[in-house]
Amino acid sequence: MGIDMPLPATSIAPPIGRLIQIGEVLDPSPADLADLEAATMTMLTSTDLEAALIEVTHVDADDESISRALADLGAVEALGDLRRLRTGLTASTATVVGLLGRVLEMLAPEAPGPAMLSDLGRRLIGTAIGERRLLDALGPREWIDSLALTDPHSVAATSPYRRSGGHVVASDDDRAVEAVMTQETFTSLRVVDRVLDLDQPLLADMYAPLGRCVAFVDSNVIGHHGDALRAYFGHHGIELTVLVHRAMEVDKGVRTVEHMLGELKAAGVARHEPVLVMGGGVLADTAGLACALYHRSTPYVMLSTSLVAGIDAGPSPRTCCDGFGYKNLLGAYHPPILSITDRHFFASMPEGWLRHGLAEVLKMAIVDDAELFALLESVGPELVTTRFGTLAVDGQPDVESEAGRVIAAAVRSYVAAEYGNLYETHQLRPHAYGHTWSPGFEISAGLLHGHAVSIGMGFGAFLAHRADLLPERDMHRILAVISRLGLSTWHDVLDDHDLVWTAQERMVEKRGGQLYAPVPRGRIGAVGYLDAPTRPELEAALRDYRVLATAGPRGGIGIEPHCRDVGLEDPATVGTDEPSIEAPVAPPGRPRPTAA
C-alpha cells in the first residue's frame, strides 16, 4: 500500500523514500495554530499527512532493509519511533503527531514542515484534541477498514511495544493441532550525556504524552540524583510518582518483586504504560522482573546509573530475583523498551565500584572489539579516577571523549552479542568470557564480581595460549591491561583445586554437558570456545598460571578486590525476604543447580 509517488533516485527502501518526500513537501503553515483543534484537523486531513500516516502504519519497521536504509541515512533514531507509529491509530493524537514530526525531521532535516509538526505535537499534549485517539479523531476511512482485516495490531494493539503471530495446522478431524507462536520484541538503546538536563527531550518525549511517569528508583540513587529527577519531570509538567527501593543484594528476593507488583497495581499502571526504572543492576533485575510479571508484560524504560547496569544489566533481557538461596534463580526474559546509559551518573560512584564494573567492559573488548581494547589500554585507569570523564582530577588528562567512546562501544558490543540470543537458546555466548570458573570462587573468596571475572579472564587467556589458540604476546597484553586497570589476575583461592574443579563440573552441567568456555581466539577481539580440561590438565594449568600471574604487578592482586574493601555486601548474599518454603534438595550424586 502507500501513496503513489515517484521514488528518489537513490536505492533507499521505498517506504523510507516516500516518507522523505512527504517530509520535504509537508506544508508548514496549514492553519492558524491559535485554534489548535482546527489546525490539527486541517493537518491530519491534509493529503500529505494522511499519506504519511498510511505509510507509517504499513511500513514493516522490523524488516532489515528498513533498518539498513535508516542507518545509511544516519537516522537510526527514527526506527523506534517508526515501530511505535505502526500502532499509531490507537495512540493519542498528540503522541502520533509528535512521533511523526520526529521521524520526518530526521528524514528531511532541512524541510520546515516536520519541525512544525513536532512543535504541534508538543502543543497538543494535555489538550482535548491531543488526548483523543487518532482513530476517533480521523473518523471513518477506507484504508483503516481494510487494515482491520490485514493487520489487527495496527487498529487494536494492546501495546505498541509487542506484536505476536504464528500459524496453526490441524488434522482433518481437528484432534491433532500443531502451532507456531512468535512474539516480536523490540528495544532502543541510547547513550546520552546528562539525560536529566532540562533541555534533553528523551524522557520528556516518552512521558509527556502520557502525562505521568511511575518510577522505581534505587534508594542510594535518589539521594544523589533525586532532585535532578524531580526538577526534570516538574519542568516538563509530567506528574512523577517515585517508588524508592533499597536495592542491595540482600533485597533481591521475591518479596521485593511482590512489593513492587503491589505498588504498580496501586498506581494503576496500564499495560501499555512504560514504567521508569532508575538504578543499578539489582534494580534492573528486580524491577524489570516486576514489569515482566505485571499484566504478564508491562513495558519499562531502564535508566542505568551504575556502569554494570549501563553496559550489561540495564539493556539485558534477563530480569530476575534470587530464590530458595540461589542467586538469580527466578526470572523472565523481558528487555526494556528503551535503555539509557548516561556516564554522568557515575560521578557519584566510589572508585572501587566503578573499577570492578570495568571488568565487564574489558571482557567485551577482549573477545569482540580490538579497538575498545586499545582504548582501555590507553585510558583505562583514568576512566576510574575521573569517573568516566565526569570529574576533573588534578594532573589527570581529560578523557571525556574516550569515556564516551568506551561506553558506546561496550553497549553496541553487548547488544550485538546478546540480542541475537535473547532467550539464551544456545551456549555460544562470547560475553560469558571470564564467567566460566569464576562463579565457583567469587563467593568463597568474598571477591567483587568484577575481580572474580578478571581472574577468570586472565586464566582463560592463559588456557587459550596453552592450547595454541592465542599468541603469547596477546596473552601478556591481556594480563597487563587487567593489572593496569587495578583489577585482579590472581587470588589464592585458585590454589583450592577441588573448588575450581567443582566449579568447572557445575558449569559443564549448566551448559548442557559441554564447557563452551569463551576465550580470545587467534587475536584480541575475536572469540573461540574451549572444551573442558581434564582434572590433571586443570590442576597443572592452575599451577603454571599461579607462577605467571603472581609475577605481575601487586602479585596479581587487584586494588580493593574484596566486597568488604569497598563497603559492599559479601557476594554470597542472596535475597532473604522470601516465603518460608523449604529449599528443594538435589538428588544425591547430582551437583546442586546453579543459576546465572
3-class DSSP assignment, residue 570: coil
Closest residue to ligand NAD, based on beta-carbon distance? 281
3-class DSSP assignment, residue 471: coil
Q: Smallest distance from the beta carbon of 262 to ligand NAD, in angstroms?
A: 22
With binding defined as CB under 6 A, does residue 298 bind ligand NAD?
A: no
* 126 vs 210: CA distance, rounded Å: 9
What is the CA 123 to chain-centroid distance, rounded?
Answer: 31
Number of residues counted as binding ligand NAD (CB under 6 A)? 27
With binding defined as CB under 6 A, does residue 328 bind ligand NAD?
A: yes
Which residue in the set 345, 388, 441, 545 belongs to the binding site for ligand NAD (CB under 6 A)? 345
Which residue in the set 232, 233, 300, 353 belongs to the binding site for ligand NAD (CB under 6 A)? 353
Beta strands at 300-304 and 275-279: parallel, antiparallel or unpaired: parallel
H-helix or E-strand spanning residue 185: strand 177-185
Which residue in the set 113, 253, 280, 380 belongs to the binding site for ligand NAD (CB under 6 A)? 280
With binding defined as CB under 6 A, does residue 322 bind ligand NAD?
A: no
**416/541 with CB nearer ligand NAD:** 416
What are the grid coordinates assigned to 119, written together? 512543535
With binding defined as CB under 6 A, does residue 306 bind ligand NAD?
A: yes
Site string for ligand NAD, 243-262 (x = CB under 6 A): ----xxx-------------
Span near ligand NAD by CB under 6 A; candidates 44-52, 63-71, 85-93, 345-353: 345-353
With binding defined as CB under 6 A, does residue 335 bind ligand NAD?
A: no
End-to-end CA distance of the chain: 46
H-helix or E-strand spanning residue 584: none
Q: Smallest distance from the beta carbon of 314 to ligand NAD, in angstroms?
A: 8
With binding defined as CB under 6 A, does residue 435 bind ligand NAD?
A: no
Which residue in the set 103, 221, 264, 461 belongs to the binding site for ligand NAD (CB under 6 A)? 221
Beta strands at 177-185 and 162-170: parallel, antiparallel or unpaired: antiparallel
**285/474 with CB nearer ligand NAD:** 285
What are the grid coordinates assigned to 28, written together? 508548514
Span near ligand NAD by CB under 6 A; candidates 66-74, 259-267, 300-308, 388-396: 300-308
With binding defined as CB under 6 A, does residue 490 bind ligand NAD?
A: no
Answer yes or no: are the C-beta atoms of 221 and 241 closer than 8 Å: no
3-class DSSP assignment, residue 419: helix
DSSP letter (8 states) at residue 581: -
Query: Phi/psi at 412 (nearest 5 deg)?
Result: -60, -45
Cell 544425591 belongs to 588
Q: Smallest distance from the beta carbon of 286 to ligand NAD, in angstroms?
A: 9
**414/459 with CB nearer ligand NAD:** 414
Q: In the chain, helix, strand, coil percent, each to 5?
A: 55, 15, 35
* SS3 annotation, 233-256: HHHCCCEEEEEEECCCHHHCCHHH
Contact residues: ligand NAD, CB under 6 A: 218, 220-221, 224, 247-249, 279-283, 285, 305-306, 308-309, 312-313, 316, 318, 328, 345, 348-349, 353, 357
